Structure 1
C-alpha cells in the first residue's frame, strides 16, 4: 500500500497536480469539513461505488486518522485501482476545508 502525509498531499494540491481525493468518513464527520474537491464515499459504500472511481487515475484516500482509509485502500487495490492512503487523515490536515 502506498502512503502519503497530509503535508505532502497539500504540496501536491498547491502545485496543481491532478488527482482525486476520496473521503471515506461518515456523513456526520464530513459535515465538519472536507478537503476542497474531495469526493465523499463512506467506507461502507466503497464496493457499491466502484463505477464512480476512475481505475486509470491515482486516488488519494482519506478518513479521520488513517485506519478506515487503509481499509478502503486494501479493497480498492484488490479491485485494480491506483490508490494511496493519506496517513494522519483529517486530524492532521492543515489546508482549506469546504463545508
Structure 2
C-alpha cells in the first residue's frame, strides 16, 4: 500500500498541484473541518460510490488517524485504482481546513 505524509500533501497543495483527496470520515466528523478540495465519501459508502472515481487518476485517502483511509486505500487498490494513504490523517494535519 502506497502512503504519503501530511507534509508532502501540504507542500503539493501549496505549490498549486491539483490533488484528488477523498476524506472517508463520517459526515459529522467532516463538519469539524476538511482539507479544501477534498470530497467526503464515508468509508461505508466507498464500495457503492467507487463508480464516481476515475481509474486514470491518483487519489489520496484521508481519515482521522490513517486507519480507515488505509482500509479504503487497500480496497480501492484491489479494485484497480491508483491510491495512497495519507499517514497520520487529520490528527497530523496542520494545514488549512474549511
Q: TM-score, normalised by structure 1?
A: 0.96
Between Structure 1 and Structure 2, how many residues are aligned?
A: 98
The 3-state SS of whatever aligns with 2:36 is coil
Query: Which sections of structure 1, spanning at least 5 residues, go unmatched?
Result: none
Shift of 1:54: 1.4
Q: Distance in 2 between matches of 1:78 and 1:2?
A: 12
User: Quick check: 1:19–1:57 contact (8 Å CA) kept in 2?
Assistant: no
Q: CA RMSD in A?
A: 0.7
Shift of 1:50: 1.0
Shift of 1:17: 1.5
Q: TM-score, normalised by structure 2?
A: 0.97
Q: Distance in 1 between matches of 2:41 and 2:94?
A: 21
TM alignment of 1:1-99, pairs within 5 A: 1-98=1-98
Query: Which sections of structure 2, spanning at least 5 residues, go unmatched?
Result: none
